[in-house]
Copies of this chain bind each other. A is one copy, B any other.
Amino acid sequence: MQKWVYGFGAGQNDGRAEMRNLLGGKGANLAEMASIGLPVPPGFTITTEVCTYYYQHEKQYPPELQAQMDEALARIEQAVGLRFGDESKPLLVSVRSGARVSMPGMMDTVLNLGLNDRTVEGLAAASGDPRFAWDSYRRFIQMYGSVVLGVDHHRFEEIIEEAKITRGVSEDTALTADDWRQVVAEYKAMVEEVLKQPFPQDPQQQLQGAIGAVFGSWMNQRANTYRRLHDIPADWGTAVNVQAMVFGNMGEDCATGVCFTRDPSTGEDIFYGEYLINAQGEDVVAGIRTPQPMSEARAKPGERSMEAAMPAAYAELVDVRSKLEKHYADMQDIEFTVQQNKLYMLQTRNGKRTAAASLKIAVDMAREGLIDQTEAVRRVAPQSLDQLLHPTLDPKAPRKVLTKGLPASPGAACGVVVFSADEAETRAAKGESVILVRIETSPEDIHGMHAAKGILTTRGGMTSHAAVVARGMGRPCVAGAGGIVVDYHSQQLSAGGQVVQGGETITLDGATGEVFLGAVAMVEPKLSGDFATLMGWADSVRRLKIRANAETPLDADTARKFGAEGIGLCRTEHMFFDPERIGAVRQMIMSESEGGRRDALAKLLPFQRKDFIELFRIMAGLPVTIRLLDPPLHEFLPHREEELAEVADTLGADLATMKRRAADLSEANPMLGHRGCRLGVTYPEIYEMQARAIFEAAIETAKETGKAPVPEIMIPLVAMKKELELTRAQVDKVAKEVFAEAGMTIEYLVGTMIELPRACLTADSIAEAADFFSFGTNDLTQTTFGLSRDDAGKFLPYYVDKGILPKDPFVSLDPDGVGALVRIAKDKGRGVKPDLKLGICGEHGGDPASIAFCESVGLDYVSCSPYRVPVARLAAAQAALAGGGDRTA
């Protein structure tokens, strides 16, 4: 016969902590605590399989369930010496849900179940405290009425308010036994009025109702939404825990509390928590009375610590704390009740904590020997490092939300609103903190983005220009805030009827996507020694190399500081927007002849060479992958006629010609247009200039330092082997020329971005012409899904929200589609060249789930924006520890 009910406490523990899938987290841990000898009130857990059965059988329970429950209840009765429904000494129970993971929206708790008009008298007599009994009964009606019977909780609150007004008191504690008896009568009348039937008096019926409510709440709308958002299968089900009540509210020798075994905010090794004397669980969090500290050391004047008030129970609890940490080897979040000086444990679970606490606890516990170093590496969520590297909003600071966009680049920023890059730069130069607000950004805005403390756009997704560049610079960014209307002309933005003028202050939280009116207080990041320690441990276990995407010396320096092992993507076009250069770039674009283009490119050569020399110096001894020009040429032209006229003037061209050329260059779908190696093939002089700049820089670096860098030259957007062959031949030709001129030769590699489905599908052929592959998963995601990252904002959030896509595929690599192509490319590429170097340089290179995928495929490195390097190092270590994958292939 299948076992549907697992007992705990009173000497019979059917469950263990490992059985959380079957018993839910709460039930499994109650059994675990009981089995290591901690004082747990006896009870039983109805398994998650009952829930699944219930939904698979049109809401019928397994036929054996009732008998098993009866037996388990009888065991409780025997253990505590009370009987459920007994009118003189009634057993009361709590009913709590308990899924594998805690889930908002589900029915949580009903306490004091088993009370009715007769047992309440028995409880009063047995406890000798009628006030306690009637207070317990009214609490039960209130909880049961609202969560099981669905009566609006305000209706209950109104009755208490009325009672207090009538009695002229302001605190619940001032109400007497008779007052509560009166409240109970009014509660029952109100419930009967609402439900057209009396409040259930039969304890068995109460129990059935509460259990049914738990199972019912598993499929309510809020729970369904939460599950979809968190990818929790509906067939996991929830368990139900039925447990003998203990009372923290039977008098001054009673108490209840909630603690963490370490400080969840800082991670400090102190006993952290709150308790209340003569209170039931929900009172601690309800805020009606002020909870008191646990230890005397932490007590402020006027506070009464548990250590002082209940020294014996406290000492026992300190002992429990130590046992639990040793047993679970993690910081615990516990709930306890003291009934007449006797301690009872009601819950333990791994405690939630801040990023800083997570780091400190992991490192401390490893040092204490509770866990080993690899376990410490596993314990810290890589994403949480963002909190340690960027300013964050002070959680206690008041704030007024204006709107919400996408959390495009982490960190908080506060400043005055400006609507143009130039103004951002001007005001920043005067020492102002500015937030650059744009409908969307383009490469022309880079100087303003750099000058700004944060960036806000109303269009574009997680890999829009604004998002990518902001992450690269470590600037907080909220992107695609569609609720905001920006009016450049009147220099104001509006959202939900609220208007913000240019020059007024707003605050961004790039980690949540929230935008706030005015200034919100912030907390500056502090990097402790623990950070370096954990990173060291992570480095010692990871296999994947971590490189950074960087073009500027500043980016490269930042990347090195955060531990990058080279540059995986240097986007040379970012070097073209400098005001000193853009003129020559535009002259090149406007030239209708190769000769004209070559003249203009000759002006750019010294700039590019200098760029590369600086990067080679900073990355001395490390690989530097340089991608040749990728974007379509029209990206370098201004959009507005006035600006075009200005450019025409500078170039000595007439506006009409300029407009015609701009129109010629414009594209219906620039993402799929004349860009990448297609430019290199049709205008070979561009790649020739870039290759020359690279080789001359490498040789100059070699002569200067005695050690030649090994540039990795990367050809973008290859779809056919011949494209790579042609452009590679151009590069090789220039190499020969430069080496001959310099009288020396250096090593170099030529490889390609794999960023088109066709490149993946023909990777065996392309590998023959490539020294390395770097997966450009941004563009590969766009083409695989047929999804423009610039336009996806219109429906992608809806898709993710509705669970059509589990995650934004521009944030986390889609393993089924994009990942399948990466695997195909890896198999085909390594099939031809077993040692083919493989990396990834899309935005996914900084995403932990994507890094785990890269590890499983057996890539050699990931490359991400400098501020993501620590995240990537830790994620790579965790991925290596998780093992698996097809790395041997």
Contacts and interface: CB of A to CB of B under 8 A. Distances in A.
Interface stretch (A46-54, A264-272, A753-761): A753-761
Nearest to A676: B786
A720 B806 CA distance: 11
Interface stretch (A473-481, A543-551, A618-626, A788-796): A788-796
A722 B802 CA distance: 10
Given A678-B795, A795-B678, A788 B673 contact: yes
Given A673-B788, A787-B672, A682 B795 contact: yes
A756 B814 CA distance: 14
A34 interface: no
A124 interface: no
Contacts of A784: 756-758, 761, 783
A782 B672 contact: yes
A288 interface: no
A492 B231 CA distance: 61
B757 A783 contact: yes
B720 A805 contact: yes
A673 B794 contact: yes
A761 B760 CA distance: 12
A726 B228 CA distance: 15
A798 interface: yes
Given A783-B783, A817-B757, A671 B674 contact: no
A757 B825 CA distance: 14
Interface string A721-763: 0110010000000000000000000000000000111100110
A171 interface: no
Contacts of A719: 785-787, 817
A667 interface: yes
A669 interface: yes
A1 interface: no
A488 interface: no
A803 B757 contact: no
Given A783-B784, A785-B719, A758 B668 contact: no
A414 to B, nearest CB: 29
Given A756-B785, A758-B784, A783-B757, A674 B795 contact: yes
Contacts of A817: 719, 757-758, 761-762
Interface in A593-629: none
B669 A670 contact: yes
A668 B634 CA distance: 13
A784 B765 CA distance: 16
Contacts of A681: 795, 798-799, 802, 804
A756 B787 CA distance: 10
A672 B786 contact: yes
Give the oligomeric copy count. 2
Nearest to A464: B668
Contacts of A791: 667-670, 672-674
Given A799-B681, A803-B722, A788 B669 contact: yes
Given A672-B671, A790-B668, A794-B673, A816 B761 contact: yes
A385 to B, nearest CB: 31
A821 interface: yes
Contacts of A786: 671-672, 717, 719, 755-758, 779, 783
A820 interface: yes
Contacts of A761: 784, 816-817, 820-821
Interface in A502-551: none
Contact of A682 (B717, B790, B798): B798
Contacts of A803: 722
Given A762-B817, A804-B681, A669 B757 contact: no
A818 B759 CA distance: 11
Nearest to A819: B761
Contacts of A672: 669, 671-672, 782, 786-788, 791
A644 to B, nearest CB: 19
Interface string A234-276: 0000000000000000000000000000000000000000000
A667 B786 CA distance: 14
A668 B788 contact: yes
B670 A671 contact: no
Contact of A788 (B667, B798, B816): B667
Interface in A681-707: 681-682
A790 B669 CA distance: 8
A590 to B, nearest CB: 16
Most chain B CB atoms below 10 A, which of A678, A762, A765? A678
Nearest to A671: B669
A756 B780 CA distance: 12
Given A669-B672, A670-B668, A681-B804, A785 B758 contact: yes
A483 to B, nearest CB: 13
A721 B428 CA distance: 49
Contacts of A788: 667-669, 671-673
A804 B723 contact: yes
Most chain B CB atoms below 10 A, which of A673, A786, A788? A786
Contacts of A818: 758
A723 to B, nearest CB: 6
Contacts of A795: 674, 678, 681-682
Give the top 8 A-B pairs by smallest Cβ distance, nearest first: A758-B817, A672-B788, A669-B788, A668-B790, A757-B757, A673-B791, A756-B786, A667-B791
24 contacts: A668-B670, A669-B671, A670-B791, A671-B788, A672-B782, A672-B787, A672-B788, A673-B788, A674-B795, A682-B794, A682-B798, A719-B817, A720-B804, A723-B804, A755-B786, A756-B784, A757-B786, A757-B817, A757-B821, A758-B814, A758-B816, A758-B817, A761-B816, A761-B821
Interface of A: 667-674, 678, 681-682, 717, 719-720, 722-723, 726, 755-758, 761-762, 765, 779, 782-788, 790-791, 794-795, 798-799, 802-805, 814, 816-818, 820-821
Given A669-B791, A671-B786, A761-B820, 16 more contacts: A667-B791, A668-B670, A668-B790, A669-B669, A669-B672, A669-B788, A671-B788, A674-B795, A681-B802, A719-B786, A719-B817, A722-B803, A723-B804, A757-B784, A758-B786, A761-B817
